Amino acid sequence: MPKTIKNKYYNYLSYEKLMEAHLKSRKGKGYRKETILFNLKQEEYIMWLLKKLETKTYKHGGYSTFYITEPKLRKIEKSRYIDRIVHRWLVDNFLEPTFVPQFINTSYACLKNKGMHKACLDLQKAMKHCKTIWNEYYILKMDIAKYFDNINKKVLFEIVKRKIQDKNLLWLIQEILYVQKREKGLEIGYSN
């Protein structure tokens, strides 16, 4: 992908791309009621979604909130299934190819071929390396409390605008980002 995205929205907006996003979105979730209902008329729903995105009349349906308690109490905000298809299409075709190459090598969360196991293996390798060079070393384990709750949406959108200058894509990103009117905080979905 180029350094900035301009006029690419309609290049990637097709029935096939949305169907691909649907197939990825339902992976591991085929037993859920909303996924089953969508699958019954998937061609019609995808065509409807395509039309809404083409005419820019798509409206995000918002989020339903629930809590999980394992491994700790967490608030989850889940979007409708059809909105998750739009999220997947946006991420796969624009956000991931544009932003992921800029990440440092030790970024692991939610990235293809990365994750907790890869992070553990890389940490063990780094520990062996440090032991060889310095014999003693220290490890700092930390977590930023309420990280996603404190992200300023205006600042995030300004960062996105540096790389994405396609007005149609910016419209869609704003539609998703500002569906809940609060100024700070990103919705955290639960994939299981």
Q: How confident is the model at residue 148, as a pLDDT?
A: 79
167 pLDDT above the threshold of 60: yes
Distance CA 57, CA 42 (A): 20
- 192 versus 17: the higher-pLDDT residue is 17
191 pLDDT above the threshold of 70: no
Residues 129-153, mean pLDDT to the nearest whole number? 86
Backbone conformation region of residue 98, classed left if phi is above 0, alpha if psi is from -120 to 50, else beta: alpha
189 pLDDT above the threshold of 70: no
Q: How confident is the model at residue 192, as a pLDDT?
A: 43
Instruction: Render the burial of 29-60: b for 16+ CB within 10 Å, e for the rest.
Output: eeeeeebeebeeebeebbeebbeebeeeebeb
Q: pTM (2 decimals)? A: 0.85
At residue 184, the 3 state secondary structure works out as strand
Dihedral sign for Cα 168, 92, 177, 105, please: negative
Q: How confident is the model at residue 8, as a pLDDT?
A: 94
Q: How confident is the model at residue 87, as a pLDDT?
A: 96
